[in-house]
Structure formats: C-alpha cells, structure tokens
Amino acid sequence: MVRVNTPEQDLFERGILARLSGVDAGYKTATVLFGIDFEARAGEVALITGPAAAGKTTFMHLLRLALQPRSGRCVILGTDVGRASARARANVKKRIGYVAENPTFIENWTAFDNIAMPLRLAGQKPRDDSDDVRELVEFVGLTDAADLTVEKLSGAERHRAAIARALAAKPALILADDPTAGMSPADGRRIVRLLAEMRRVGAGVVIASQDESLADSAPLNHWRMERGRLSPISQAATEEAEAFE
Amino acid sequence: MRNALTGVERAMFWTLAFAAFAAAAAGLAARGVDRVAASYEAARSNYAIVRVLAPEGPAGIAAAEVALAQAIQVTSAAPMTAGRAAALLGGEVRAEDLPALRLIEIELAAAPAHVDVSGDLVAALAQGGVTAEVIEAPDDSAGAGLASRVRNAAFWGAIGFALVMGIIVSLAARGLAARRREMVTVMCDLGATQGQAAGRIADEAAVMGLYAGVVGGVLAGIAGFIVLMLAIPGVSLDALAGMILPVDLTPIAAAPLGAAIAAGAGARAAASYFHAQAARLG
C-alpha cells in the first residue's frame, strides 16, 4: 500500500523544518506574538534579534512546542502542532534540541550525565553512547568540567553543557535562546559559530539574542523581533544555499 | 536509587518505613485479636453440659459417661465435681454446701452448623438408657456473636488503618516527586512523554517504598515477637515459632508491596502534574 504524505510531511521532506503563518501566541490573557510569519530550513541558521521583552523567548517557546498557537498555522518538523496529539507533540519535541536562556539541569548529576540524558531517554545504554557524549563534550569545549556536577559549573560552562545536551540526540531543529548571555563577545561569537556548524549536518538552527553583532558570525537569515512582530532583515543563508544549488 | 540517600530523601525513607511499620503492626495486632477471638468462639461453641435426669444417682452418671464415650460428637467428658462447680460459680457457694450434682462437662468436636449436636447426643444417651438434656452456651447471652464482631472490627480496622498509612506514604512520595521536579522539567523539555517522566519518578519512589516497607515490616515482626514473648511468660522460642501460622505473616509480607504501590502512585500523580505544567506554558 502506498503511503500518502500529508501536506505537513511534504513540507518537512522539502527541508522546511518550521513554517509559521499568521501565528498569534501568548500567556493566559496576554497576547505576546502577533501575526508571526516565519520559516526555518534544514542546513540554515536563523538569528532572531530584538530588544528585551520583544517576544523572542515566547517565540522560542512556540517553536519548542511549550506554547500553543492561538491563531494561525504552526507546522514544525512535519506536524501541525495546533492539532497534534500529546504523543505526536512529544515525538516532535524529541527531534528538537533546545538551549534555554537559563538552562535547567539535574544539578546533582555530572555535566556528562546531563548531556547524555536525551540518549538515555531514547533508550541507549550508557556503554553505547559514552563515546558520542565524549565527542560532544570536546566539541563544546567542556572536557575539563564534564565530570563535575552541574551545580559547580560557571554560567558559560552551563551554556556549553546545554548546547551539548541539545545536540546529543542529533536533532533536526536546534533552538538557542540567548545562548551568549553573560559571555564575553569572543566567547559569544564562538558559541554561535559552534551552533552554526550544525547546519553542515543538515540541522536547522534558530538563535534568539539581543546582540545584533552576532549577525556577522556566520552566513545566516537575520530576523528582527519588535513588540511581538517579526520581520526579516536579511536572508543570507537562504541566498547562499540557493546560489550553491 | 542512583545515589546513596541523603538529607530529605533519608527523612522520606524513614517516614515511609514508619508508616509501613505502623500498618504492619496494626495488621499483626488485628491478626492476634482474630486468633484470640476465634479460639474464644471455638472454646465457647465446643463446650456443653449434660444434665442427667434419669436414672438418678451415680448409676445414671456412669451410664451417661459410657454413652458419651461412644458418641462421635464428644471429644472429652468429665462429671462435674462440687469443687469445680463452686469454682465456676466464683466462690459464691462453698463446695460442701452443694448437693450431689448430675452434670457432666463435655467438649464437642467441630460440627457443621446445620447439624443438631444436642439432639444427636440426647438420642445417643437415650440409646444407652439415660434420659438427659444437653445445655449448650445460649445464643442470647452476652458472648453470642461477640467474637465475630470483634474479628470483623479488627479486620476492617486494620484495613482502614493501612489505607490511612497508604495515604501518608503516597503524600510523602509526592514530596519525593517535588524534589525531582527539575528532572521532570528537563525530561519534558527533552521530549519525554508524561508517562516516561512520571514513570521514572514513580519507579524511584516505588523502589524506595519497597525497601522502606521491608524495613517497616521486619521491625513490626520483631516488635510482634517481643510482645508475644512478654504476653506469654515462659514460652520458648520453639513453642512460639510453632504457634505462628504462615497466614499470620501476611501483614509483614504486604507492607513492602503496599508501600511500593502507594509510593509509586503518589509520585506518579505528582510527577504527571509537574510534567503537565512544564509542557504547557500558555
């Protein structure tokens, strides 16, 4: 029997990881995002900049399925999240790597164990994934701190651990909310380049930050969020990809 | 358990162990009451007095003894002496003041409820040429039905108490889930379903409940053993061990299982709630 793809699955197969059309979202009685139109593609990096309280974090919550759209259409990784079941949403979440502005960890576990958690959730045994996790730890530059409990890590190390954890399950879509907060400009640019590297393995990356200068860190699509409205500034990543094609 | 128990977890473990101990101890006490009430009821219903009406005098008593010795319903029979009667009357009457008694105390074998033991005995005595009546413990006296009421009260009391302890264990396990809230949040963020996140916390709580239940159950067993040693002066360990039936140990065996189920259920409910909160911000 031939299996027919839904339009949402077709989008995903065409490399469109997230497509938001006219989406409003918010908390309880407050609407924070208005008429959001956005697209994230595989192999591209999108940078969302804007002032504090512009709605960047709410937008990231929307992309990571912690918020339901109030209106409009929100298709993420081939699933219309406004109509999906709890299980379908959980399955989508498993394919999203999320780096929160203030990452939550199991504080009395080591950084290594925290980073390995997505793999354990996927059912991998510790002996099967330890090499992959070591590689990730080296990739984010956390080798010396990997065996420390997370409560002993500095702010920058916590962010690196959060990035490593977000990458552990080889997600299709990586979301990073202000990943450079509290870092030196050099460290911040390094983190963004690190995240941008993931486009090379076909992942889509969405970064939210107040720092406009990050737009020069890598070829990326730059969007600006202001008072809950999102507008494109440059589409360098898409243009580069189209030129390559 | 991932790490050795520390701080709050250790306090929680002992809370669970104490609740399991209390429930198991109540169960053992109820079982003790049940056995005492059952033996009282058995002693009461297996006892009767035969009053010999004819022939009169020692000949009647002797003939009745012969007839009773052949009756299958009777396990023992002994003519009531004046001294025994005086003792039963509580010393209100002196033995030498009592007339010659025509009473025989008998112990009866257990018989189905529908069998008319008294009627059968009267018939057996009549065949032996003795006219007599059999006096059983009356149903309308203060003792009638008391044992079964006591047994019921002990059983349901212990069940009710165990349920209350189960609620305490369940609430304590919710505290454990609250301690693991960050783990639930992280798991939710990583895409774990409610079942996965809550299941993990419930498993941890259930294991803790199991161990705490074992500790509580064993402590209750030791306490019960000490109480028996004190309650029955001079009893040997062998005699005590012989008195204990496997069914008497049910509360001890049930303590770990009950504690594990209650702790797992409490932690699962709390973790599910935390997951639901983490999953939806809006």
Taking contacts as CB-CB distances below 8 angstroms, the residues of chain B near A165 are: 190
Residue B257 lies in a domain: yes
Domain stop point among B103, B129, B155: B129
Q: Which of A68, A91, A104 sits opposite B186 (nearest CB)?
A: A104
Residue B124 lies in a domain: yes
Taking contacts as CB-CB distances below 8 angstroms, the residues of chain B near A25 are: 282
Q: Is the pLDDT of residue B141 over 70?
A: no
Residue B87 lies in a domain: yes
Q: Is the pLDDT of residue B237 over 70?
A: yes
One domain, residues B166 and B231: yes
> Six-digit token pair at A6?
């839904």
pLDDT of residue B166: 95
Q: Is the pLDDT of residue B1 over 60?
A: no
One domain, residues B224 and B103: no
One domain, residues B198 and B253: yes
CA torsion through residues B101, B102, B106, B112, sign: negative
pLDDT in tens, B50-94: 898 878 888 888 888 888 888 888 888 889 888 888 888 877 788
pLDDT of residue B270: 95
- The domain containing residue B218 runs over which residues? 7-40+145-279
- φ/ψ of residue B101, rounded to 5: -95, 145
Taking contacts as CB-CB distances below 8 angstroms, the residues of chain B near A162 are: none
Q: Which chain A residues in 194-213 lie under 8 Å from chain B, judged by CB atoms?
A: none
Q: Is the pLDDT of residue B112 over 90?
A: no
> How large is the ipTM?
0.74
Residue B135 lies in a domain: no
Pairwise CA distance, residues A122 & B90, whole Å: 80
One domain, residues B27 and B152: yes
In B, minimum Cα distance to A29 occurs at B282
One domain, residues B271 and B212: yes
pLDDT of residue B5: 59
Q: Report how many domains make up chain B.
A: 2
**Contact (Cβ atoms closer than 8 angstroms) between residue A85 and residue A33:** no
Kindly report the nearest CA distance between residue B205 and chain A, in angstroms.
17
Identify the residue with better confidence: A140 or B213: B213
Average pLDDT over residues B103-119: 83
Segment among A123-127, A208-212, B181-185, B199-203 with least mean pLDDT? A123-127
One domain, residues B88 and B170: no
Identify the residue with better confidence: A8 or B217: B217
Q: How many CB pairs under 8 A join A and B?
A: 61
One domain, residues B73 and B26: no
pLDDT of residue A66: 86
Domain stop point among B74, B102, B129: B129
Q: Which helix (H) or strand (E) holds A142?
A: none
DSSP-derived 3-state class of residue A187: helix
- Torsion angle defined by CA atoms of residues A20, A22, A27 and A29, in that order, rounded to the nearest 10 degrees: -170
3-class secondary structure for B264-275? HHHHHHHHHHHH
**Would you call A92 and B191 a contact, using CB atoms and an 8 Å cutoff?**
yes
Only one residue has tokens 């008694």, namely: B101
Strand partners for A36: A23
One domain, residues B159 and B238: yes
Taking contacts as CB-CB distances below 8 angstroms, the residues of chain A near B190 are: 93-94, 117-118, 121, 165, 169
One domain, residues B34 and B68: no
pLDDT of residue B142: 56
pLDDT of residue A121: 81
The distance of Cα A164 from the centroid of its chain, to the nearest Å, equals 12
**Which of B184, B190, B201, B274 best tests the A interface by mutation, with the highest count of A CBs <10 A?**
B190
Pairwise CA distance, residues B243 & A226, whole Å: 82
One domain, residues B173 and B267: yes
How does the average pLDDT of chain B come out, rounded?
87
pLDDT category of residue B202 using cuts at 50, 70 and 90 = very high
CA atoms within 13 A on the CB side of B229: 10
Domain stop point among B105, B129, B153: B129
In B, minimum Cα distance to A24 occurs at B282
Q: CA-based diameter of chain A, in Å? A: 56
Q: In tens digits, what is the pLDDT along chain A, a chain of 245 residues?
A: 566 678 778 888 888 899 999 999 998 888 999 999 999 998 888 999 999 889 999 999 999 988 889 999 999 999 998 888 888 888 888 889 888 888 888 888 899 999 998 888 878 777 777 888 888 888 888 888 888 999 898 888 888 898 889 888 888 999 999 888 777 777 777 778 878 887 777 889 999 998 888 887 777 889 999 999 999 988 776 666 666 65
One domain, residues B100 and B173: no
Residue B45 lies in a domain: no
Which residues, 6 or more positions from B73, have their beta carbon under 8 angstroms from its beta carbon? B108, B109, B111, B117, B120, B121
Taking contacts as CB-CB distances below 8 angstroms, the residues of chain B near A28 are: 282
Residue B137 lies in a domain: no
One domain, residues B260 and B181: yes
Residue B136 lies in a domain: no
Question: What helix, strand, coil percent values describe chain B, rounded to 5?
Answer: 70, 10, 20
Residue B51 lies in a domain: no
Pairwise CA distance, residues B243 & B241, whole Å: 5
